[in-house]
Amino acid sequence: MIRKSRLKSSGRNDALFAGACIAALAIWGIASNVEAQETSGPQVAGPQISGNVAITSDYIFRGVSQTQEEPAISAGVDLTNGGFYAGAWASNVDFADGANAEIDLYGGWRTEASGWTLDAGAVGYFYTAQPDGADYDYVELKAAASRAFGPVTVGGAAYWSPDFFGAAEEEATYVEANAAWAPADKWIVSGAVGRQFVSSDFDYTTWNLGAAYQLTDNLALDARYYDTDQHDFGDIYGARAVASLKATF
């Protein structure tokens, strides 16, 4: 069906409130870091803002098409300062029920320890034009770690939601292992294997493998293969090749 499989009947206002808190807390952390720098003298560069725009042949989230296997256009903006970050991202979606856009708000903190990059934060997912009572909106907490070994980077991540997408779903957890390899200048080969655990009978495993080429300093092309182990859930869980073009600025 959709991202997870069923409609949800309660909790939308809680998710919206939590999502707003996510962004507010991350931005507060950035502002606090800025104030500390101003009072303690020159240290590191101040807040940095970046943006991105992308077009893809199919918007895939954890192995599942969010656009009924049709193209998507997305855009995002990120604000960072020191280890703190906050941002927003949006894309068109198609769940065959009227919902037409996804808006994500996220924030968190990154640091390094013993060669590892550590990331802790939260993400709020919100949907426009969703059916009455659908309540697709939800929030996840995130913890991730990665480390570079020469041209190879390995990592893992875990996401947890107390009230996930779908009427049949309450608590949910997603765990993933990923790796990337830079075999030559401008090339990155990467892949991931993840498992989505939900409160219903719709657990599944997903994986992807692909390569990205840096066309210019601001433009990259990515070709990737996605699949899951639950094709019986519907066509949107099936295997597919996806091409994406992303511009950053």
Domain boundaries in the chain?
A: 12-248
Q: How far apart are CA 230 and CA 152, in angstroms?
A: 30
Over residues 34-90, the pLDDT tens digits come to 444 444 444 456 899 999 999 999 999 999 999 999 999 999 999 999 999 999 999
Q: How far apart are CA 99 and CA 91, in angstroms?
A: 11
The whole-number pLDDT of residue 38 equals 45
Over residues 225-248, the pLDDT tens digits come to 999 999 999 999 999 999 999 999
* Average pLDDT over every residue of 26-30: 45
Q: Does residue 134 carry a pLDDT above 50? A: yes
* Average pLDDT over every residue of 114-119: 98
CATH 2.40.160.40 assigned to 12-248: yes
Over residues 171-212, the pLDDT tens digits come to 999 999 999 999 999 999 999 999 999 988 899 999 999 999
CA 91 to chain centre: 12
Q: Does residue 120 carry a pLDDT above 60? A: yes
**Cβ neighbours around 190 below 10 Å, total:** 17
CA 71 to chain centre: 18
**Which pairing describes strands 72-81 and 48-56: parallel, antiparallel, or unpaired?**
antiparallel
What b/e sequence results for 23-34 when a residue is b if at least 16 CB atoms lie within 10 Å of its CB, and e otherwise? bebbbebbeebe
